[in-house]
Amino acid sequence: MSEARTTFPEKGMSWDVIEPLMTQMAGGDEQWRDGRVPLYVFKATDEAYDVGRDAYFKFFAENALGGKRAFHSIGRMEREVVDMALDLFQAPEGAGGGMTTGGTESIFMAVRACREWAREAKGRQGPFNIVAAESAHPAFDKAGVTMDIPVKRIPLRDDFRADPAAMAAAIDDDTMMMVGSAPCFPHGVIDDISTLSPVAEETGVWLHVDACVGGYLTPFVKRLGREVPDFDFAIPGVRSISADLHKFGFAPKPSSTVLYWSEEDFQRQVFDLDPWTYGRMTTSTLVGTRPAGGIAGSWAVFKHLGIDGYTKVARDLMEMVDGYVAGIEAIDGLKMHAKPDLTIINFGSDEVDIFRVAEVMAESEWVPGMTQRPKGLHAMLSMLHAPAREDYLADLAKAVEKTRLSDEKSTISATY
C-alpha cells in the first residue's frame, strides 16, 4: 500500500518550528559531509564553500531572467563568468556562450543550437542524428528524445575512450553532431578530442565536448605538470563545450556554462517569440525564471579562488586521488579499470563479485557508486572525500575479503 498523501497544513508554522523538523528529516540522509556519498556533492575548501553560499544568499531573491532589465549586477556577473570561462578554454575572438542551470540544460542548449545550424546547413528540417560514445552522458539522449534526434551509441576502445574510427564509420548524411567527453562520467577518462576533431572537420559534423565534470579542473591539473589530454577550443573543430560550475567549479547549484567558438552559434540556442500578448520573449535558456544565486555564487567563487586557488585545489585533489588509487591497487583482488585522468575512479575485480562488495560496503554505510559495463565500483572524488580515505580503504579491504569467503550473490544493480 502506498503512503498516505501529505495534507496541506491547516495552520502556518514559524521557522523555529520548521527548522528542527528539517534537521530531523536530514538526519535520515546519507552521511555525505563525511565523504560517504561518491557523487552528487563537491567541495574545494571550507572558505570557497562559504563564499559560494554567502554569494548565493546575497542574491537569493533576484531572478536571472531579469538580468538585462532589472538585475544589472546579475547580468554583468553572468557575462563576466562566461568571459572568464572562454578565456580559460582558449576560445577565439568572437566566441560566445551563456550560463544555464546544469549540465543537462547546457547539453540541451548545445543540441538545440546544433540542430538550428544543421537545418540551415543541410537545407531541411530533419531527420538528424548524434554520434556519441557509449560513455557519453544520457543528457544527449534526453535532448534527443525531446527534439526527435536519435543518438547512435558507439562502443568504446579497450582503454574506455571514444573510438574515432568507429565513430567516423557511424556518421551518415543525417549526422549533425559528434560528442566527446572530458572526462566521461563512468570511467573518468578524457576522450581523445584531438583525434575526434579531424573526423568532425572532414565530415563537416559539429563537435561538442562535454566537459561538464572536468572543464573547470583540467586546466589546473595541467598546470601541475600532470599529463591530461587537451579538450578545449585550442583544438580545431571543437564547436561547443558544456562545463559545469556546480561540479569542479565548486560553485553552488544550479550553475553551468555552455560555450561556443562563435557568438553566431550561441545565438542559435536563443528562443525568440514575438507574437505573445505580453510582448517579445527572448531567452537563451530552456528555463525562464533562473536562480540568480547560482550566477552570483559562480562569479564569487571564480574571484575567490582565481588561478592560484584552483591550482592549489587541483594539487590537493590529485594527491588525494593518487592515495585512493594506490590504496585500491594494494587490495588483493581489485584492479583499476582505467588510470583516472582527473578525480573519477572506477575499479573492478576478476576474482570477486564486485557488486557483492558494493552491497557489503553499503552495510557499512557507504553509498556505493557503481558502473554496469564493465562491472565496477565508482567514485567522483572531491575534498569531501579526503578525510574518509583511510576508513574507506579499510572497509573496502574487509568487504573484498568477506565477499571472497562467502557464496552470497549480489542482487544490487547500478543506478545513478
Ligand X SMILES: Cc1ncc(COP(=O)(O)O)c(C=O)c1O
Least separation in angstroms between CB 347 and ligand X: 18
Closest to ligand X by CB, 129 vs 135, is 135
Residue in 103, 164, 249, 368 binding ligand X, rule: CB under 6 A: 103
Cβ proximity to ligand X, 139 vs 379, nearer residue: 139
* Of 115 and 253, CB closest to ligand X: 253
Pairing relationship of beta strands 344-348 and 271-273 according to DSSP bridges: unpaired
Candidates 7-15, 190-198, 210-218, 260-268; binding stretch for ligand X (CB under 6 A): 210-218
Of 30-38, 146-154, 156-164, 205-213: span binding ligand X (CB under 6 A): 205-213
Count of residues near ligand X by CB under 6 A: 11
Residue 376 CA to residue 105 CA, distance in Å, equals 28
One residue of 210, 232, 265, 359 binding ligand X per CB under 6 A = 210
CA-closest candidate to residue 380, choices 29, 137, 111: 137
Q: Per rule CB under 6 A, is residue 187 in the interface with ligand X?
A: no
- 244 or 359: CB nearest ligand X: 244
Distances (CA, A) of 22 to 15, 41, 71: 10, 19, 31
What span, in angstroms and rounded, lies between the C-alpha atoms of 338 and 219? 21
Residue 168 C-alpha cell reads as: 567516423
Residues constituting the chain: 416
If one asks whether residue 213 binds ligand X (CB under 6 A), the answer comes out as yes
Smallest distance from the beta carbon of 111 to ligand X, in angstroms? 12
Cβ 371 to ligand X shortest distance, Å? 12
DSSP state of 375: E
Distance CA 91, CA 44 (A): 26
Q: How far is the CB of 132 from ligand X (least distance, A)?
A: 11
Nearest residue relative to ligand X (C-beta):
103
Pick 100 or 284: Cβ nearer ligand X: 100
Q: In what order do the strands lie in the sheet with 175-181?
A: 96-100, 256-260, 238-244, 206-210, 175-181, 129-133, 151-154
Instruction: State the residue for C-alpha cell 546579475.
Output: 74
Q: Report 43-102 residues binding ligand X (CB under 6 A).
A: 102
N-to-C CA span, the chain? 26
The distance of closest approach from Cβ of residue 360 to ligand X in the complex, given in angstroms and rounded to an integer, is: 26
244 binds ligand X per the rule CB under 6 A? yes
Residue 298 lies near ligand X (rule: CB under 6 A): no
Q: Is 166 exposed, middle or buried (0-12, 13-18, 19+ CB in 10 A)?
A: middle
CB count within 10 Å of CB 399 equals: 25
Kindly state whether residue 156 participates in binding ligand X, applying the rule CB under 6 A. Answer: no
Cβ count within 10 A of residue 5: 6
From 4-12, 207-215, 305-313, 369-377, give the range in contact with ligand X by CB under 6 A.
207-215
- For ligand X, the closer CB: 115 or 137: 137
Per CB under 6 A, does 185 bind ligand X? yes
Judged by beta carbon, residue 191 or residue 265, the one nearer ligand X is 191
Q: At what angle do helices 354-363 and 389-405 cross, to 10 degrees?
A: 120
| Contact characters 107-146, ligand X, x per CB under 6 A | ------------------------------x-x-------
Separation between Cα atoms, residue 157 and residue 140, nearest integer Å? 20
212 is an interface residue for ligand X by CB under 6 A: yes
Nearest to 89 by CA among 219, 209, 213: 219
Distance, CA of 81 to CA of 215 (rounded, Å)? 14
246 vs 356, beta carbon nearer ligand X: 246
- Interface residue with ligand X among 51, 55, 77, 181 (CB under 6 A) is 181
C-alpha to C-alpha distance for 49 and 309, rounded to whole angstroms: 13
Q: Contact residues for ligand X (CB under 6 A)?
A: 102-104, 137, 139, 181, 185, 210, 212-213, 244
